[in-house]
Amino acid sequence: MEKRLFTSECVTNGHPDKVADAISDAILDACLVQDPDSRVACETMVTTNFCLICGEITTKAQVDYATIARETIRHIGYIYPGDGFDADTVEIQCRIHTQSADIALGTNDAVGGAGDQGMMFGGACTQTPELMPLPAAMARALANRLTQCVHSNDLLRPDGKTQVTVAYDEQGNVVGIDTVVVSIMHSADFDTEELRRYIRKGVIAPVLEAYGFSLDSVEHIHINPTGNFVIGGPNGDTGLTGRKIIVDTYGGYFSHGGGAFSGKDPTKVDRSAAYMARYMAKNLVAAGLAQQVQVQLAYAIGVAEPVSLRVDSCGTGKISDEAMTELLRKTCDMTPGGIIRKLNLRRPIYGATAEFGHFGVADRPWEQTDLAPVLKELAALS
């Protein structure tokens, strides 16, 4: 039997790019707390003891952006001055102005159009209970476990990466885990071999077990393969909002439209329509209409209805892709306003997505499967 390998990666919330994402989303949440109609497009850059916050924000909220950034950095765990980036000494500069009046014309409540053109994708499959691709789900679970360990072990630091390679057979069925890679920043006082034992037992083993595997079943495990990882975080690499779009979605298993999520209010379809596409794909799979589904939406700036909707079940559908597309047209409002209302997106729920992931997390509103029974019934009647 020929094995086919697929690899996905993830990063912890202390990775420089995710630090930037977290600050942008924390500012978004702070605006939404006071003004649910806030228009936010916030971009952040972090490097050695420096943070720059830029973007377009139109809001009635009174927000101290620098304080929000400092609190977010502290929450992530950058609290050690000797690491070159910490909450107390980092220099913070802000360059914020209001949203373009031209864009606002097409997205106000009277028009309700999309905030930009573009295409968005959502996917789901039966490889995991959360209906996510296994490589992406396991890489995310490892990263989240690392984040938990950082807050309980003073010798660990927040910057980390994970990677999982899954083996499939020719029919696309999972047959095993080929490779697991984990890298985590640490204090110089943490002996490398002791750290590797800690990560192997405390991070990798429980995640493997949660997905039905054991340490012995994995062919290759690499933990901090270069040895020391003492210089890291924004001190080791500049971070920017929106640079981890594949980490934020499906680990490359499904397509990505190109738009980032963090720092954007829900009138930006880069974010809200990607969430809706996931909701639709997951409900089609949860309804038993296919084992794997990818949904594409596309929009024109200032136009409310999507210019296209496409369902691709990769040959796994019990009904045709065209029939599934029609079911979604009948049951889902895909205008920006309709998406915001359905998923209740004008509220401060976005900081958690930057920290622990956007998809496959049970309490995210786009992860609910309330539409599945309706789709199943309509498919039976058609």
202 pLDDT band (50/70/90 cuts)?
Answer: very high
Across 75-92, average pLDDT: 95
Average pLDDT, the chain: 95
Per-residue 3-state assignment (H helix, E strand, C coil) for the chain = CCCEEEEEEEECCCCHHHHHHHHHHHHHHHHHHHCCCCEEEEEEEEECCEEEEEEEEECCCCCCHHHHHHHHHHHHCCCCHHHCCCCCCCEEEEEEECCCHHHHHHHCCCCCCECCCEEEEEEEECCCCCCCCHHHHHHHHHHHHHHHHHCCCCCEEEEEEEEEEEEECCCCCEEEEEEEEEEEEECCCCCHHHHHHHHHHHHHHHHHHHCCCCHHHCCEEEECCCCCCCCCHHHCCCEECCCCHHHHCCCCCCCCCCCCCCCECCCCHHHHHHHHHHHHHHHHHHCCCCCEEEEEEEECECCCCCCEEEEECCCCCCCCHHHHHHHHHHHCCCCHHHHHHHHCCCCCCCHHHHHHCCCCCCCCHHHCCCCHHHHHHHHHHC
Say what the pLDDT of residue 98 is. 79
Q: d(Cα 275, Cα 273) in Å, to the nearest integer? A: 5
Decide if pLDDT at 60 tops 70.
yes
Say what the pLDDT of residue 351 is. 97
Decide if pLDDT at 109 tops 90.
no
Provide the token pair at 110: 């009277």
Per residue in 343-381, pLDDT tens?
999 999 999 999 999 999 999 999 999 999 999 999 998
Q: Which of 136, 32, 159, 25 has the alpha carbon at shortest distance from 359?
A: 136
Ordered domains of the chain (ranges, CATH): 4-10+133-231 (3.30.300.10), 118-125+269-381 (3.30.300.10)
Say what the pLDDT of residue 116 is. 84
- From the number of C-beta atoms within 10 Å of its C-beta (0-12, 13-18, 19+), residue 382 rates as exposed
Across 151-158, average pLDDT: 95
Across 116-123, average pLDDT: 94
Instruction: For residue 1, count other CB atoms closer than 10 A to its CB.
Output: 7
Residues linked to residue 298 through DSSP beta bridges, in sequence order? 119, 308
